[in-house]
Structure 1
């Protein structure tokens, strides 16, 4: 061949980032790899709640693409469309310029975006949690509510500003509630004028239990830990309406609050539907080798792909970071195999368990099926994240140590304003896109 084959990877989340790193290691020089992503970093999303809680500096969870993907060309852009027949990707760069790229192999790893439900007022009054910008905004917002409550003489306003509602008790919502409560309690303790107004947190979900996608024992541990700390857990409950004065829950109760945090879930990036290829609930259908039937040159992985779960016939793998990373690795190896390097294999996973950080010295974990809680679970949880994060482990561990021995700083940074992180920013090209 006179020209190297070009592999284009769309998305730099867990799936796309891992695919790019793996392919560059096993096929560097044989193919030209281009990674298209709207940011110049890979976001280690599981530690984002600790950014919102002021434990970690946001730079610790933003892994630079330039230093961790050697041999990969990074294009700072957002993919707007894909011409499947002509094998071309159309995108818009960071300054609005239009680019076209030809590909020989394409990896769709565009990830997911905030999932909005048709609930009146949610888009206008709720805060999402999918990006560094949203985490920084939420941190300032939580601290600001405590400060404004202290400055107010109106008892009803003080009560509303000291009340926080998280909707969605999955992995993200549970950790946001756990970490957010500790941050507001720290700010509250520095405000003697609020001694008569306690901080109130509500965690609501339509599911019969929190963490419904995880092992039931993990769910019970998390429920007990959060309840003991004073967080009100409302299962079988969601939001019926949101206003500037508060939220009306589906059970009819009106909760005065200025803080509605939306962690209901995600949906596949809208780019997937625009491809004109078969989908399953918005996810691109692929076979067990992560290729699109009828298009062996197109691979898909992560939240954007409906991957057959070979351990549970008839089902698809869940939209989790663990699956995304493993699928990205398998997609890269299968692409290399298509060029004669290695052997093509189906994606099959072994469940290694999950970890949930509940703030302070509390956590829940089930490594290899062994249920843990309290300090042992915390050690496992932080150990897992240190092993999983691609770089910056010493800096992250340093932040954790400082948080243990020093009081938490509760000051607003005022870097991100609400208008910059609207919840409805889930159309193609918006910053909330992550794998």
Structure 2
């Protein structure tokens, strides 16, 4: 690892997930940039494929790519360390083992599981990281639970339910606090997904706020309970600890970004992906892999403009909360395409193949 300063514009990227890795891949083709990645993990992971892995559809190799060969190919210095804080006056990132100076900082540490203060929720299984997902799959294979409760009915929860229903003999329950499935998407999507889950024998429980989670049961705020052998929490995300510690403008805990994807009030700090609150022209960006990739590509182009002393170009949100875009796998080679109020379950095989190609090609591009 060579951290000797060069005459180029040093761009330090915190986080090697979808946003960070895609930014580096695109920035590596630009002139005038010295690229440094701070990431404790040794692999790039495609979180969109975690439900597929949990259901036994794919192996680890199909949803991850080693970082070192990628970084060598892209001429990126990989600092395998954990960022702890940043000094914006001295333009320095403090890690557990290193202090790293920067000219421009890109914050892309992603998000962490949010348990919303629910008692015992931390003991439930999760599929927000590779380690969590591997642990959950091993439990399913070893203990063969008869009843599984999935807390949360967003795309991850739905995909998890579908793959488990197709590949195990478990009775699956999907628990949602709101009055319908996929509450952040259209009602048409909710109705269609309800039919799909019903056809797989999955039981949907809406208007159920979780009060606490025990080893073999889930207790709800209305006093009722659900007996189960395994609980999987997919009910939401929150800011990474690093983001919480930074003295930067935030909204709802997320880094507040301007129209150029810079942190508000900071010309030398960018924020992309799940860590950022991006609201432009009345539209709020969704926290999805697709949106993170597009933000990363745009930021790479703007970094090249910074190196050349050119004016930055504003970002245009592609997938907003008022017109969300989603491709949701529903198992058995099927998927649903969602764009705003439009839901397309047919032709199923084509949509599934398209989604599978998108997810797996993300991993392949880094190998």
Tell me: CA distance 1:120–1:390, structure 2 relative to 1, closer, same or farther (3 Å): closer
2:168 match: 184
The match for 1:323 among 291, 298, 305 is: 291
1:157 match: none
Q: Deviations over 1:363-399 (max 9, x none)?
A: 211369753215x234223313413533439x9xxxx
- Tell me, in whole angstroms, the C-alpha distance in 2 between the residues paired with 1:245 and 1:168: 18
Alignment of 1:160-309 (within 5 A): 161-185=145-169, 199-309=170-280
Tell me: CA distance 1:144–1:238, structure 2 relative to 1, closer, same or farther (3 Å): farther
The match for 1:90 among 70, 89, 94 is: 94
- Tell me, in whole angstroms, the C-alpha distance in 2 between the residues paired with 1:15 and 1:208: 32
2:101 match: 102
Q: Deviations over 1:43-87 (max 9, x none)?
A: 111111111111111111112233445121111111111111110
Asked if 1:363 is matched to 2:335, the reply is yes
TM-score by length of 1: 0.77
Tell me: CA distance 1:285–1:350, structure 2 relative to 1, closer, same or farther (3 Å): closer
Asked if 1:10 is matched to 2:14, the reply is yes
Gapped regions of structure 1 (runs ≥ 5): 93-97, 147-160, 186-198, 396-435
Q: Deviations over 1:269-289 (max 9, x none)?
A: 121121111110111112100
Asked if 1:372 is matched to 2:318, the reply is no
The match for 1:140 among 128, 138, 141 is: 138
Of structures 1 and 2, the larger Rg is shown by 1
The structure where strand makes up a greater share of residues is 2
Asked if 1:80 is matched to 2:84, the reply is yes
Q: Deviations over 1:380-423 (max 9, x none)?
A: 23313413533439x9xxxxxxxxxxxxxxxxxxxxxxxxxxxx
Contact persistence 1:63–1:390 (CA under 8 A): no
TM-score by length of 2: 0.90
1:23 match: 27
- Tell me, in whole angstroms, the C-alpha distance in 1 between the residues paired with 2:103 and 2:109: 18
Q: How many residues align?
A: 355
- Tell me, in whole angstroms, the C-alpha distance in 2 between the residues paired with 1:173 and 1:25: 37
- Tell me, in whole angstroms, the C-alpha distance in 1 between the residues paired with 2:352 and 2:104: 36
2:65 match: 63
Contact persistence 1:168–1:264 (CA under 8 A): yes
- Tell me, in whole angstroms, the C-alpha distance in 2 between the residues paired with 1:233 and 1:63: 35
- Tell me, in whole angstroms, the C-alpha distance in 2 between the residues paired with 1:212 and 1:175: 15
- Tell me, in whole angstroms, the C-alpha distance in 2 between the residues paired with 1:71 and 1:343: 26
Q: Deviations over 1:138-175 (max 9, x none)?
A: 112123332xxxxxxxxxxxxxx411100000011111
50-59 vs 137-146, greater mean Cα deviation: 137-146
Gapped regions of structure 2 (runs ≥ 5): none
Q: Deviations over 1:104-150 (max 9, x none)?
A: 000011110010122222223x111112221121112123332xxxx
- Tell me, in whole angstroms, the C-alpha distance in 1 between the residues paired with 2:46 and 2:310: 29
Task: Please report the RMSD computed on the Cα atoms of aligned residues, expressed in angstroms.
Answer: 2.2
Contact persistence 1:145–1:162 (CA under 8 A): no
- Tell me, in whole angstroms, the C-alpha distance in 1 between the residues paired with 2:63 and 2:231: 24
Q: Which one has more relative contact order, counting CA pairs under 8 Å at least 6 apart?
A: 1
- Tell me, in whole angstroms, the C-alpha distance in 2 between the residues paired with 1:326 and 1:91: 28
Asked if 1:44 is matched to 2:46, the reply is yes
